[in-house]
């Protein structure tokens, strides 16, 4: 079987391998190497710089960063992924319905625009703080998607509206194709590209919001995510005390993950639209 040409492109392979490396780190490493629960505090000696025993150093809360990072990153990614999934799902269904049914379009668009202007942070803080005793990672993602669906809906509606006017849709409609089939067969191939981009962007947005909310102290702070890790490092004055490994290493991992994912998304998009 011949590999698609994209696998020969270096600027695709590099982000892909980085991503795979990170995935291995966050899945395989905890299963094989972690002996002590990394979320528990005061387990290892506090505040040690990176060394042989502790390759990423330790925190002032007595946690081993090398064990902490995969869990934190995994949690952040789960949150981002759930946000992206739910938001895109809502946006896709909503936009297709609105464009196909045509009634109440202005009302829906006004509503969507309003949802775009509502600042998410205070609402998210209240919700996440209030529910923090019952929270799980996917639930955080769901809560974030309350605000995540607005922007993609807007973009999708404008794409689909102009698509709708094209003749091949008219043909499907006039031949009696039921609405849901028009949605699946005609619309989806066109918006697949947007869904891909949107998924990446929304995951990143989700991770960003989670980090921000965590820095306000509004989440369940004993669950490690990149955001809570940063919060604790701030709280314990890691910046001033010079414990750079506490905040830099998790952040670096996050940035590398984000950039590789984004680069991958861009490259995939390029590849998929090469013929256009």
Q: Which residues bind another protein (CB under 8 A)?
A: 110-111, 113-123, 125-127, 129-131, 133-134, 151, 154, 200-201, 204, 207-209, 211-212, 215-218, 227, 230, 234, 239-240, 247, 251, 254-255, 258-259, 261-262
Looking at the Cβ atoms of 169 and 250, the one nearer to another protein is: 250
CA atoms within 13 A on the CB side of 190: 20
Q: Which is nearer to another protein, 29 or 216 (CB)?
A: 216
> Which is nearer to another protein, 187 or 194 (by Cβ)?
194
Q: Which residue has the tokens 């009634």?
A: 103
Distance CA 208, CA 55 (A): 27
**CB atoms < 10 A from the CB of 61, how many?**
20
In the complex, least distance from residue 175 CB atom to another protein, rounded to whole angstroms: 31
Please name which of 147, 125, 138 lies closest in space to residue 225, comparing C-alpha atoms.
138
Shortest spacing between CB 89 and another protein, in angstroms: 21
Write the CA distances from 129 to 25, 216, 255, 275, integer angstroms.
30, 10, 26, 48
CB-CB neighbours of 185 under 10 Å? 11
CB closer to another protein, 125 vs 182: 125
Least distance (Å) between residue 142 CB and another protein: 13
Q: How far is the CB of 63 from another protein (least distance, A)?
A: 19
| CA proximity to 155, closest of 213, 197, 207 | 197
- By C-beta, is 68 or 112 nearer to another protein? 112
CA–CA separation, 121 and 136 (whole Å): 19
Shortest distance (Å) from residue 261 CB to another protein:
8
- Continuous segment of H or E residues that includes residue 117: helix 105-117
- Select 37 or 113, whichever has its Cβ closest to another protein: 113
| Residue pair 253/23 in contact by the 8 Å Cβ criterion | no
Considering the complex, what minimum distance in angstroms separates the CB of residue 201 from another protein? 8
């Amino acid at each position: 079987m011949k590999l698609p040409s994209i696998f020969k492109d270096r600027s695709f392979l590099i982000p892909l391998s980085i991503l795979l490396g990170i995935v291995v780190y966050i899945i395989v490493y905890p299963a094989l190497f972690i002996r002590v629960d990394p979320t528990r505090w005061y387990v290892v000696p506090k505040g040690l710089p990176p060394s042989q025993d502790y390759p990423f150093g330790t925190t002032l809360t007595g946690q081993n960063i090398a064990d902490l990072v995969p869990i934190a990153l995994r949690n952040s990614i789960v949150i981002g992924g759930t946000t992206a999934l739910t938001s895109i799902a809502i946006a896709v269904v909503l936009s297709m319905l609105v464009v196909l049914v045509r009634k109440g379009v202005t009302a829906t668009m006004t509503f969507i625009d309003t949802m775009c202007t509502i600042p998410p942070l205070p609402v998210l803080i209240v919700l996440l703080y209030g529910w923090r005793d019952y929270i799980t990672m996917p639930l955080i993602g769901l809560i974030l998607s309350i605000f995540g669906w607005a922007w993609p809906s807007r973009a999708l509606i404008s794409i689909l509206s102009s698509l709708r006017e094209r003749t091949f849709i008219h043909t499907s409609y006039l031949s009696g194709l039921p609405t849901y089939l028009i949605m699946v067969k005609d619309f989806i191939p066109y918006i697949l590209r947007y869904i891909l981009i949107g998924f990446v962007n929304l995951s990143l947005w989700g991770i960003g919001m989670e980090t921000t909310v965590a820095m306000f102290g509004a989440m369940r702070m004993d669950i490690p995510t990149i955001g809570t890790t940063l919060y604790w490092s701030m709280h314990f004055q890691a910046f001033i005390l010079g414990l750079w490994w506490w905040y830099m290493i998790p952040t670096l991992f996050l940035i590398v993950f984000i950039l590789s994912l984004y680069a991958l998304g861009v490259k995939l998009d390029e590849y998929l639209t090469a013929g256009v």
